[in-house]
Amino acid sequence: MKSLILASASPQRKKLLKDLGVSFKVMPSKVQELKDITSTCSALVKHNAGIKAEDAAKRLKEGIVIGADTLVYAGGMDIIGKPRNHRHARQMLRGYFRKAHWVYTGVAVIDAQTGKKLIDYEKTRIYMQPLT
């Protein structure tokens, strides 16, 4: 059976696989991901997920590599990046209240031995009520 490799150091992604009971190894990618939307949000997350998975896959002889990328887009605004600290996270959350925004996640799965790859994305519309 081929081993599963997560091309990410993300604690959330590690927890997801662990909670699923999946056996995996972590091999964070060393690539610089794109941050600007040059065409579409979906193209950006698919590109970033792909280069992360490819970076890890090229360092392996075999295994199934998973790369992922997520962004939040609030229509007409720039991409909403990761918060710098707790205070910034609170400010960001307040900015989401009563406004629709979209979360895009790209996922790439590559067989390191054959080079076969699948890359796709999911888009979720989020609408938050104010927190109490």
Contact 27, 17 (CB under 8 A): no
Q: Which of 19, 36, 55, 69 is catalytic?
A: 69
| Residue 69 appears among annotated catalytic residues | yes
Cα(52)–Cα(71) distance, integer angstroms: 15
The Cα angle at residue 34 between residues 101 and 6, in degrees rounded to 5: 90
Cα(26)–Cα(17) distance, integer angstroms: 11
Q: Which of the residues are catalytic?
A: 69
